[in-house]
Structure 1
């Protein structure tokens, strides 16, 4: 019997499967040598503790001290699979994927860049971009959210809430479809139940979704309607500024009646990027396709002759706001790439600086030893 098999009894496996356990996680569990370790999924994150589940209820757990002192190690987030002994999380199993962004705290400085990554949730099947059809509706913000999701290699879907505020809300759906190519767009009203049935398809057993969007977009209200009762605190939106308050202050993985799971997140004020791998190509597929037809391969799409992007802009194929947002995010991605590259070089220089110092100190010690002899 393998060590891991002793931790997984036959009655435990179906319970774990309902939480999304798969051969991927089983393989990594099998690589561990301690048969006392039990797998569990993180279903709640608090300041000094975590709530974990094996499919039948939940319990509180704390992390082993060494996880707090591993700068490159994994630290548990909502959706993670962890291994534990008693009530102590000893390690985090490798993740299938993560939704992450640049950590908040730029204080509104347009040119300021995040200095570290913030992992929002792990092991996801779908990320919902939730946007209310009130003052929250913003195509440029949706573009940024989609880019963030694609950067993380995840599958997005857009949910337009508060459809009951408009006589013809399908107009907004068509607007979003012009910038979200191939992305499912769902028109929803939590008030009268419009569109809720279509969302249940994402919540099949073992599937995990998460919600991102502004405060007041209707994320928690949506979770309550899909669940069938109020399990998440909700708040009103200010009529003066059109902004909601942070009623959701933690990240919880909620096991839904449909069989799947939903992670509700606090509202995101800043959509800062951290990983720039391929998101622009997907989120701005129309502009990227046009760019292939430019006269110059290194065209900046700003003022060069023969620029197909500028031609499309003049002819109304694409909007000025979309092109400007494209350029803005391109600059951010380039800055991010350059900074991470420079950081890697700096780390290498510091490493060799330390090695040189050790060699110098070694030679000095040997010199003193020769003098004594």
Structure 2
């Protein structure tokens, strides 16, 4: 009988984790912190205070340990997190490679439009499918907001245009999106003829993790079923009266794909709000960024300054006014979000030093006694 050596068991364990998306980033983390890989698992779905996790061999429901309830909200587990477990208890969330998050719905300021709180949706994502239906859901300005959100989170977007069968010439929509999503792959799909499947499968090979975002009724669940090759997600028809879909997906959970990748469906997003600044605007509006380099003033706001190359592009028809308006709106939201974040950080730092000063005073009093 051949008894597996320790190194053989280590290799088998690592390979199981790699099939779930464990990569060199986490391999280095595990080595630096000397983590016990037997305790490592990935969160497949989150249901309030219970989490379905897997180590690549077994799945089990876990509850967060008592100390995790006292952690900051951003450290609480979400779908896609790598965690350390102890039996059926989650002990710790490993540092994330990235986090897909948005401004929490219902917290946007009336004046600035920025969200007051951030809502993590998923963690450690390789690619985000921005799903938009070619019906009443189609909106280039909303696609721009999704792209800025994804770029802000440090992830790679792919725009997926569903329901291509509704149009005789759907390529015109793809060309319009390609004109505003520079360098971003744009894929036309249809559940009727399964078009676009091969192009999207390229992002769902073994060890790859993909999340979908989009409005209710955009066709995310139907797309998941088409990519999987079976009915793994419930679907519902879009209301003909209002052109809106219903929330058939109510939780964020991974679907294991035939080629080994993991696909996460998300409940529909009605409100695309920003709760942080970032590089998302420059990546999304590369044309405006490039035009701005030719403005007369380095700090040009592109509103009324003389010699503004951006305004000149609008006047000539090179840059649509609606695209510039959307850029300004998102820039204002992100500026407010960033300023509020920095203000909060300063407040936290001041409070920390107050506590330190109090402790020093107490120590001095003890020493004088």
Say whether the fold is shared (TM-score over 0.5).
yes
Deviation (angstroms), 1:141: 0.5
Q: Report the counterpart of residue 337 of structure 2 in structure 1.
A: 336
Q: 1:174 is paired with a residue of what secondary structure?
A: helix
Q: Contact conserved, 1:159 with 1:185, CA < 8 A, in 2?
A: yes
Deviation (angstroms), 1:250: 0.6
Residue 350 (structure 2) pairs with residue 349 (structure 1): yes
Q: Report the counterpart of residue 137 of structure 1 in structure 2.
A: 138
Taking the aligned partners of 2:21 and 2:36, their CA distance within structure 1 comes to 21
Taking the aligned partners of 1:49 and 1:37, their CA distance within structure 2 comes to 21
Deviation per CA, 1:247-292: give whole Å up to 9, x if none: 1111111110022110111111111112322111110000011011
Number of equivalenced pairs: 364
Q: Report the counterpart of residue 154 of structure 2 in structure 1.
A: 153
Q: Report the counterpart of residue 278 of structure 1 in structure 2.
A: 279
Deviation per CA, 1:208-266: give whole Å up to 9, x if none: 10100001000011001111111111111111111111111111111100221101111
Deviation (angstroms), 1:176: 0.4
Q: Report the counterpart of residue 92 of structure 2 in structure 1.
A: 91
Q: Given the two structures, how large is their TM-score scaled by the length of structure 1?
A: 0.91
Q: Contact conserved, 1:8 with 1:38, CA < 8 A, in 2?
A: no
Q: Report the counterpart of residue 181 of structure 2 in structure 1.
A: 180
Deviation (angstroms), 1:10: 4.0
Taking the aligned partners of 1:34 and 1:54, their CA distance within structure 2 comes to 14
Residue 328 (structure 2) pairs with residue 327 (structure 1): yes
Q: Given the two structures, how large is their TM-score scaled by the length of structure 2?
A: 0.92
Which shifted more, 297-306 or 348-357?
Answer: 348-357
Equivalent positions of 1:1-373 (< 5 A) are: 9-32=10-33, 35=36, 38-71=39-72, 74-106=75-107, 109=110, 111-357=112-358
Which runs of 5 or more residues in structure 2 are unaligned?
Answer: 1-5
Summarize the Cα distance change of 1:181–1:354 in structure 2 as closer, same or farther, 3 Å threshold.
same
Which shifted more, 31-40 or 145-154?
Answer: 31-40
Deviation (angstroms), 1:100: 1.3
Q: 2:75 is paired with a residue of what secondary structure?
A: coil
Taking the aligned partners of 1:136 and 1:7, their CA distance within structure 2 comes to 51
Taking the aligned partners of 2:176 and 2:125, their CA distance within structure 1 comes to 27
Q: Contact conserved, 1:18 with 1:205, CA < 8 A, in 2?
A: yes
Q: 1:203 is paired with a residue of what secondary structure?
A: coil
Q: 1:317 is paired with a residue of what secondary structure?
A: coil
Taking the aligned partners of 1:36 and 1:157, their CA distance within structure 2 comes to 33
Q: 1:149 is paired with a residue of what secondary structure?
A: helix
Taking the aligned partners of 1:27 and 1:290, their CA distance within structure 2 comes to 41
Which shifted more, 167-176 or 25-34?
Answer: 25-34
Deviation (angstroms), 1:56: 3.0
Q: 1:11 is paired with a residue of what secondary structure?
A: helix
Deviation (angstroms), 1:90: 1.0
Taking the aligned partners of 2:180 and 2:232, their CA distance within structure 1 comes to 34
Q: Report the counterpart of residue 3 of structure 2 in structure 1.
A: none
Taking the aligned partners of 2:346 and 2:358, their CA distance within structure 1 comes to 18
Deviation (angstroms), 1:32: 4.3
Q: 2:264 is paired with a residue of what secondary structure?
A: strand
Taking the aligned partners of 1:128 and 1:310, their CA distance within structure 2 comes to 32
